[in-house]
């Protein structure tokens, strides 16, 4: 039997297969083997039973499996179809870092940390002195 994700399969179809496989595996792990019939229109909380922490794990696994970097808004996705839209529009790999992120900028004196602060009040007073604006 041929794998559903072959080289001749369109990218979107391969992505759907991977998305549903990752989701099914996560449900299998977190719900003690109880796997429902999961579709693109299954509600992640109501139908599948994913809480916010499990959704965060799902997003991490999807980013790794599909080599994409999903936006923060992906946490609020209610269905796998919404996740699919975000995945198909996300092109950056999580391992890619922009030049701006790599550039080193030393902290200025006004941005130094309040090393001698012992209490929260000391930190707030330092902040008012260091950043009066």
Buried b (16+ CB within 10 A) or exposed e, 32-46: eeeeeebeeebebee
Q: Is the pLDDT of residue 24 over 70?
A: yes
Higher pLDDT, 43 or 100: 43
pLDDT in tens, 70-122: 988 899 999 999 999 998 888 644 444 444 443 444 444 445 666 677 788 88
This prediction has a pTM of 0.60
Express as a percent the part of the chain with pLDDT over 70. 71
Tell me the C-alpha distance between 117 and 114, whole Å. Answer: 6
Instruction: In whole angstroms, give the CA distance from residue 68 to residue 96.
Output: 10
**pLDDT mean across residues, the chain:** 76
Q: What are phi and psi of 66, to 5 degrees?
A: -110, 0
Q: Are the C-beta atoms of residues 44 and 84 closer than 8 Å to each other?
A: no
């Amino acid at each position: 039997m041929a794998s559903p994700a072959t080289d001749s399969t369109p990218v979107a179809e391969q992505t759907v297969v991977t998305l549903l496989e990752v989701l099914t595996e996560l449900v299998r792990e977190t719900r003690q083997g109880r796997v429902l019939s999961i579709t693109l229109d299954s509600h992640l909380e109501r139908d599948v039973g994913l809480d916010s922490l499990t959704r965060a794990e799902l997003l991490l696994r999807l980013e790794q499996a599909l080599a994409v970097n999903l936006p923060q808004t992906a946490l609020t996705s209610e269905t796998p179809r919404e996740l699919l839209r975000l995945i198909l529009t996300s092109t950056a790999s999580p391992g890619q870092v922009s030049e701006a992120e790599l550039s080193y900028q030393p902290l200025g004196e006004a941005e130094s940390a309040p090393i001698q602060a012992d209490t929260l009040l000391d930190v707030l007073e330092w902040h008012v002195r260091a950043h009066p604006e």
